[in-house]
Amino acid sequence: MDNFYYISADVLDIEAIFDVIHHDKKLKLSDEAKVNIENCRKYLDQKMAADKKPVYGINTGFGSLCNVKIADTHLSQLQENLVMSHACGTGEEVPTEIVKLMLFLKIQSLSYGHSGVQLATVSRLIDFYNEDVLPVVYSQGSLGASGDLAPLAHIALPLLGKGLVNYNGKKVSAEKVLQDKNWSPIVLQSKEGLALLNGTQFMSAYGVWSIINGYKLSYLADLIGTMSLDAFCGLTEPFNKLIHLVRPHRGQIKTAARILEFIEGSEIAAQPKTQVQDPYSFRCMPQVHGASKDVLAHVRKVFKTEINSVTDNPNIFVEQDEIISGGNFHGQPLAMALDYLGIALAEWGSISERRTYQLISGQRGLPSFLVNDPGLNSGFMIPQYTAASIVSQNKQLATPASVDSIVSSNGQEDHVSMGANAATKCYKILENLKSILAIELLNASQALAFRRPAKSSVAIENFYNAYTEKVPFVAKDRIFHDDIMATISFLESTTLTTEMFKD
C-alpha cells in the first residue's frame, strides 16, 4: 500500500490528519479533485471572456477598493500585487509543523472546485508539502476576518519564487529552491491570489494542532493526576461510577473510569486511610478534567466542519452558473472555539498546580518540599513557584480574543474575529500546560518514592519506571531546570494513540 493521502471530497477529520502527520504521508490529488479544480477554472475563464461586468476580487480591487475595475491585461499583475502587498506579517515565525498543516488545509479547501484556481497552483502547493519546502510565515498580522490574509500571503509568496522558505534545516530564498528543483514560478490567473489569501487556514492549522495535542495532554493529565492521588494517599471512593452516572457528563464519566483503571491494583490505594475527604484538586478530577474533555470534543466538531469547508471569496458554483461574494472567510466560529479551548487547557494546568502544591505541603507523611533534610535542601519549593507563575500567565492568556474587534479597510471590514490571536494564545497555553504537567510529574514521582516499599498499580509503576530512567530520584538539591526540561521531553516523547482520541 502506498504512503499517500488522497485529497478528495471525502470527509477529513482530526484522526485522519493525525494519521497523515504520524506516518509522514505524502499528499496526492484524487481524480475527482483534479476534475473539480479544472472544471471550475475552465468555467471562470469562459465566464470572464463572455461577461465583462465587475466581479469582486476577479477584475476589481480588494477590500474597500472593491469598486475599482481592473483591465483584463492587468489581472495577473493584480493577483501578484495582492500577494506581495499582503505579505506583511511580523512577530515570531510560525512553527514549521503548523506551516505544514496550513499547506495541507489550504490544498484541501482549494480541491473542492469552488475557488477558481489553476491545477498547477494546487499541484505546486502539494510539491511544497511533500518535499518539506515550508514557507516562512509570521505569527502576527491576521485579524481572522477576511481570512488569514497576511499569513496566507507568506504561504503564497514562494509560488511566485518570492519570500523565504525553510528547507533542509535552513532558511533560504524561495527563488533558489525553485531554481534548484527546476520549478517555474506560478503565473497567477484571475481570482487566484484572492483564493490563496482568503481562507482560515492559519487559525485552522493552529486549532487542529492544539486539538491533537490537547487529546494527548488530556490523557497525561489523568495519568499524572492519578499518580499524584496515589502518592498523596488519596481516596478512590470519589471515582465510583455511581456518583458520575447521576451527573452523566461524558467527560466526567470518562475521567473517573480512567482514574480507576490507572490505579487498579495499587498497594498504596488499598491501605487504610484516616482522612474523610481529599482536597478538590484530587477529589474533583472527574468534574474538572471532564469539563475540559467536553470542551475539547465540542471544539473538535467545530474544526471538523471548518477543515471540510471552502473559506475563500467569492465562491464559484459551476453547476448553478453563479459567482457569489460572501463571507465564509470570517473566523468567528474558530475564534470562539479557540478561546473556549484555551480556557479548557488552562484549567487542566490550574488544577495540576494545586496538586503539586498539596504534595509539597508536608502532609500525609510526606516530607516538606519532598526532600530529605529540608532546610539544608530547599527541595521542590521553587518548581511549584514556577508552575504557579505559568498558571497565572495562562489565566491572562485565556482572556477571550473573540470579544474584540477593530475596524479595518476603510470601514469595509468593520467587524473582525481576532481568531488568529485566539489561535496563537491557545497554542501558547498548550505549550505552558506541558510545563505545568511536567512539574506535577516531577513532584508526583518524588512523592511516590517516599511511599516505598508500598507499590502503586502496574500502570503507574510502569510509567514511573520509564520516567525515572530519564529523571531519577532527587536525594539532594540540584538544578531543577534541567529536570523540568527533561520531563517535558519525556512527555513529548509519549506517543499519541487512537485510544486517546476517545476522550
Which active-site residues does the annotation give? 56
- Exposure letters 312-333 (e unless 16+ CB within 10 A, then b): bbbbbebeeeebeeeebbbbbb
What's the sign of the alpha-carbon dihedral 293, 297, 298, 303? Answer: positive
494 three-state secondary structure: coil
Q: How many CB atoms lie within 10 A of CB 462?
A: 11
Q: Rounded distance, CA 151 to CA 451, Å?
A: 52
376 three-state secondary structure: coil
CB 12 within 8 A of CB 287: no
Q: What is the DSSP letter of 138?
A: E
Element (H, E) at 92: strand 90-93
6 three-state secondary structure: strand
CB 353 within 8 A of CB 391: yes
Q: Rounded distance, CA 237 to CA 291, Å?
A: 20
CB 144 within 8 A of CB 417: yes
Q: Rounded distance, CA 275 to CA 364, Å?
A: 9
How is residue 494 written as a grid cell? Answer: 509519549
Element (H, E) at 433: helix 419-449
Q: Rounded distance, CA 307 to CA 341, Å?
A: 17
Which amino acid is present at 153? Answer: A
Nearest partner of 384 among 415, 362, 364, 406, judged by Cα: 362
Total number of residues shown for the chain: 503
Q: Rounded distance, CA 265 to CA 268, Å?
A: 9
Q: What is the DSSP letter of 280?
A: H
Angle in degrees, CA 369, 370, 374, rounded to 5: 60
Nearest partner of 196 among 250, 140, 158, judged by Cα: 158
How is residue 260 written as a grid cell? Answer: 480507576
Q: Rounded distance, CA 155 to CA 186, Å?
A: 13
